[in-house]
Structure 1
Amino acid sequence: MMTEPLFDSAEFRQVCGHFPTGVTAVTAVATDGAVAALTVNSFTSVSLTPPKVLFCVATSSSSFRVLMESQRIAIHILSQEQEDVARRFATSGLTGPEKLGGVAWVPGPDGVPLLPATPAVLAGRRDEVITSGDHVIVLLDIDHVHLKPSRVPALSFYRGRFVAPNADIAE
């Protein structure tokens, strides 16, 4: 039995924001051809053999339905120079096709949108989906990777804002 926390969700978010995270762009294509595009910072590798990763998404996300109907999903690790993509994909009220408008992409395996300008891409098939609170944890079996070596650091998020790794992030 869970007891009621002694803090509110804003304070919880602020505390969690003290942990810097990478920023990824997730794209997906459903069996009916619908596409999703969203920004995610809850991403991690899970297993090397077999290759698996996970990301988390809110059940209230405008991309949630398409993600749950998608078998093919791609995760793009964004560079520091791609904050505009992160902001565009994080815009609520836009559909997947609208978010992809103006962003260079190519169709990947099974038509999943791939962003070739990103330094690294992992694509695969949806495996398990685990519901936890107001989010789901989506596990992917990775069957496609692309690495475009870059000297530009990955985009990071810290205390509610995009930052460059190793930058002076003190206030």
Structure 2
Amino acid sequence: MLTSNFQQPGPDTARFRAVLGHFPSGITAITSRDTRGEPVGMTVASFTSVSLTPPLVAFLPGKTSSTFPVIAERGTFCVNVLATDQERICRALSVSGGDKFAEVAWQPGPHGDPVIDGVVAWIDCGIEAVHDAGDHYIVIGRVNDLDADSTASPLLFFRSRYNHLVSA
């Protein structure tokens, strides 16, 4: 693994967040089940594909997340790419505590993890590796199954606001 010993002071966190907010991102709901079989989930904008062979993806949960340890313990998760009309679901899964799935319709995926109804795409994964990265983790998932709705449009986050694609 390549690492750099060169350390330079970076920008303050407010400026860092403001500038990086100019990069649009899709919004995903990472879902799993707890030890009682109840659904758990969190919203994540930091999601990416990693490798085609083997098929790998990654998401970056914050270390303060109370949901990620539950997902890590189970070892499987489902990435749900939220659609333009699912801002309500995004907000429900963003809060800490409570029954996040009270008004979220879903079906069990291949590992039993929630596939949320109406998403643009879903990606069923097993945790391959977890790496330390500052105040976040980098979670690598091996893709086991996936599907997409080619007619749906994604919910986007840009400049600290929810956005939608505009057709040309």
TM over 0.5: yes
RMSD, aligned CA:
1.8
Question: In the alignment, is the contact (CA less than 8 A) between 1:31 and 1:71 conserved in 2?
Answer: no
1:79 corresponds, among 76, 83, 108, to 83
Opposite residue 122 of structure 2, the aligned amino acid is V
1:18 and 1:166 map into 2 onto residues whose CA distance is 17
1:104 and 1:161 map into 2 onto residues whose CA distance is 24
Q: Which structure: greater helix fraction?
A: 1
> Structure 1 length as normaliser, TM-score?
0.87
Equivalent residue runs for 1:3-152 within 5 Å: 3-5=8-10, 7-30=11-34, 33=37, 35-91=39-95, 93-95=96-98, 98-150=99-151, 152=152
CA offsets 1:67-118 (integer angstroms, 9 cap, x no match): 2212110001111111111111112x225xx111110012222321111321
CA offsets 1:103-134 (integer angstroms, 9 cap, x no match): 00122223211113212100010101011000
Report runs of 4+ in structure 1 exceeding 3 Å deviation: 30-35
Which runs of 5 or more residues in structure 2 are unaligned? none
Question: In the alignment, is the contact (CA less than 8 A) between 2:83 and 2:118 conserved in 1?
Answer: no
User: What SS does structure 2 have at the residue aligned with 1:58?
Assistant: coil
Aligned-residue offset at 1:49: 1.8
Which runs of 5 or more residues in structure 1 are unaligned? none
CA offsets 1:11-41 (integer angstroms, 9 cap, x no match): 1111110101111111012455354211111
> Structure 2 length as normaliser, TM-score?
0.88
